[in-house]
Structure 1
Amino acid sequence: MTMEIRLARIDDRLIHGQVATVWAKETKVNRILVVSDEVAKDMLRKTLLKQAAPPGVHTNVITIDKMIAIFNDPKFDSFKTMLLFTNPYDARRVVEGGVVLKSINIGGMSFSEGKKMITNAVAVNNQDIKDLKYLSNQGIELEIRKVAADSKVYMMDLLKKEKMI
């Protein structure tokens, strides 16, 4: 047995209204793990994220190495987990470290310099595209949905349509 990952999501806003209410209910998780070296070092963000979690769902902010270390640990088999990443690179690093993901939901990747908007909520740069291609090549479904009720848009199809891969 390993930890049950019910949702892996890339959303640079991490825990916000949609995640806290809709996704947590939809997936019936008992644990949210924010996996980010950057956020794990930021005490204020860690505190705010724990406060934003839905009632009854424990939230931890952990480093990428910690996620890799605990994934196969039987102590965490009871976890019905939602993994939250701020970017595709961090998701790639946990997969390279042996964490098994079947699908990654992409909720929001903010626009910043050097990025191109491909939906109203998702912007990518060359590094993101490289990491998304790696994840896709591992057989991981990459789908864009803000909320569970939205229809899935497949990231790789969108990148092809935009002539980005």
Structure 2
Amino acid sequence: MKIKLLRIDSRLIHGQIANNWVGTVGVQTMIAACDSAAHDNLRKTLLMQVGREPTKTFVLDIAKTLRVYNNPKYADLDVLMVVETPQDVIRLMDGGIPVTEVNVGGITYKEGMTRVTESVSVGKAEIEAFQELHRRGIKLEVRQLPSSSHSDMMDDLKAKNLI
């Protein structure tokens, strides 16, 4: 399996991804790798309905995502993979998925978080995870749409005096 885009987006699969990123990246498969969504039948069904033909859409927990990634049956598959948090990226990497770059698309604001950009909010856990990804040499690009301007996540965190 070749992951052509790994994106962090707390909404997982939605119109921006199905209508913009899939075509730009040139994939026929989307995987939402998220434990909570994979185990919530209603959420899983709704996420899978966002994908448009001929794109195949899957919602898998992290453990199953790792099994699928390592299955030779899927070696030729080009994939757009979306996770909910930067911590999920670390779990994928620790499970053996090589990562060099991550698209940070959106992390929804919740109480106790700090808004870093229009689309990205972070709490302590997210900051620590981004720092770990940076230590591992991962490029962290904040970009909502393929046509949007982009920034470096670590620069954005520094600009807000969060690191």
TM-score by length of 1: 0.95
Q: Distance in 2 between matches of 1:75 and 1:127?
A: 35
Residue 98 (structure 1) aligned to one of 91, 96, 99: 96
RMSD across aligned positions (CA):
1.0
Aligned twin of 1:149: 147
Question: Which consecutive residues of structure 1, in runs of 5 or more, have no partner in the other structure?
Answer: none
Q: Deviations over 1:4-34 (max 9, x none)?
A: 1000001111111110111000001111110
* Structure-1 separation of matches of 2:98 and 2:21: 20
Task: Tell me the equivalent position of 2:71.
Answer: 73
User: Could you tell me how far apart the structure 2 residues matched to 1:62 and 1:74 are?
Assistant: 18
Q: Which residue of 1 aligns with 2:46?
A: 48
Structure 1 residues 62-71 or 39-48, which shifts more?
62-71
Gap regions ≥5 residues in structure 2: none
CA distance in 2, matches of 1:119, 1:127: 17
Number of residue pairs the alignment of both structures matches: 163
Task: Please name the residue that 2:129 is paired with.
Answer: 131
Partner of residue 4, structure 1? 2
Contact 1:24/1:54, CA 8 A, preserved across alignment: no
Deviation at residue 70 of structure 1 after TM alignment:
2.3
- Pick which of 62-71 and 82-91 moved more: 62-71
- Residue 21 (structure 2) pairs with residue 28 (structure 1): no
Find the aligned partners of 2:54 and 2:134 in 1 and give their Cα distance: 33
Per-residue Cα deviation, 1:73-132 (whole angstroms, up to 9, x for no partner) = 211112110111111111111111111112110111111011000111110000001111
Equivalent residue, structure 2, for 1:64: 62
Q: Which runs of 4+ in 1 moved over 6 A?
A: none
Aligned AA for 1:153?
A: S
Distance across 1 between alignment mates of 2:61 and 2:14:
20
Q: Measure the CA separation in 1 of the matches of 2:161 and 2:122.
A: 13
Amino acid across the alignment from 1:86 = E
Query: Which letter maps to 1:137?
Result: R
Counting aligned pairs with the same residue, the percent is 36
